[in-house]
Copies of this chain bind each other. A is one copy, B any other.
Amino acid sequence: MMTNIPHDLPVSRENDLAVLASAVEDELRQVVDTVYPDGLMEPYGLLHHMLAYHLGWEGEGSGPAAQGKRIRPILLLLTASAAGGDWQAALPAAAAVELIHNFSLIHDDIEDQSALRRGRPTVWTRWGAAQAINTGDLMFTLAHQTILRLRQTIGDQAALAAAAVLQDTCVQLTRGQFLDIAYETAGDFTLDSYWPMIEGKTAALLACCTELGAITAGLGEEKRRLYREFGRSLGLAFQVQDDWLGIWGDPAITGKSTESDLVSGKKTLPVLFALNQPGKFAQKWAEGPVHPEEVRSLSDLLQQEGADDYTQNAAARLTRQALQALEEAAPPGPALPVLTDLALRLLDRKA
């Protein structure tokens, strides 16, 4: 199951990230190729193709952009290495979290009726909701199989601990998604509801990545908790930053105002903050959909009412929290600088 990359590769330079990404891709392909029963290529060819299409390997528009950045598995491998583990031993865990992420995207796209994902038609728009639901279920199953491939690299006990973390994460993901759907239809989404929702939808899987990194490195409960907290705070900070970019990021405010979250009506953190007080923004918002030409004046209103500061402060606080947890965990491995760098770059995006 192992590739030929030396185990002691110091993960500390930019080109090493490409090595990690390529190893993740190999592991994912191995798992997905198990979907063919022995010697029986047909009639399951399309089933395999739908998995490969969603993962960006096949079909129109396939390639690196369609594959996404694989941030979660890379974060997991870097954490494993920084925590003193062998990143190659953690590959099954890395593939498992990426499969969970992508299973949830396939289902979310149906639930949100999104026609495009990474610039390409979603699985359900290409092959119908029925096949897409079932393909997502298959990818979900593959993830649960894959995490137990850790038995061969880190032993039964650690693999069972890793599986328990992954399963618990899946419960949290469905809780977050439940809230997201419920608030979408009920319309009573408030600032108080924001945090439990992104805890499930965004932070849970990143917390899972860093905890699995610690588990594959053989660390105990207390260290695991610190690595987990690092990933969790990073995930919350990432989401808050994403919400900020949706209003004040480059494409949102300049050029294409239609890309602003204000136009799509998304209740992101700055909006929820402003709706929580009786100001002009809340008044405007209640009047109905925001038109592209109103984006600039509404984002200025948000800023005047403190939503910009509130959001940036929250992101900064959560980032500090993440880095503090990482510092307490005191990673001994050579990947620490790369890991810190990755975390900071995730939080310092311009768009």
Contacts and interface: CB of A to CB of B under 8 A. Distances in A.
Interface in A115-152: 128-131, 133-135, 137-138, 140-142, 144-145, 148, 151
A170 interface: yes
Contacts of A178: 44, 46-47, 131, 134-135, 138
B160 A156 contact: yes
Given A43-B196, A129-B129, A141 B164 contact: no
Interface residues of A, number: 45
B179 A43 contact: yes
A174 B141 contact: yes
A182 B141 contact: no
A115 to B, nearest CB: 15
A35 B148 CA distance: 24
Contacts of A157: 156
B156 A133 contact: no
Contacts of A137: 107, 140, 170, 174, 177
A110 interface: yes
Q: How many copies does the complex hold?
A: 2
Contact of A160 (B141, B142, B148): B148
Most B Cβ at <10 Å: residue of A137, A168, A196: A137
B151 A160 contact: yes
A344 interface: no
A148 B148 CA distance: 12
B148 A129 contact: no
A237 interface: no
B128 A185 contact: yes
B129 A107 contact: no
- Binding site secondary structure of chain A: helix
Contacts of A135: 174, 178
Nearest to A151: B160
A351 interface: no
Most B Cβ at <10 Å: residue of A111, A130, A163: A130
Interface string A313-339: 000000000000000000000000000
A182 B44 CA distance: 10
A306 to B, nearest CB: 27
A175 interface: yes
A151 B137 CA distance: 25
A193 B175 CA distance: 39
Given A129-B110, A133-B133, A171 B35 contact: yes
A167 B179 contact: no
14 contacts: A43-B196, A44-B175, A107-B133, A111-B129, A111-B133, A131-B181, A131-B182, A134-B178, A137-B177, A138-B174, A141-B171, A148-B167, A151-B160, A163-B163
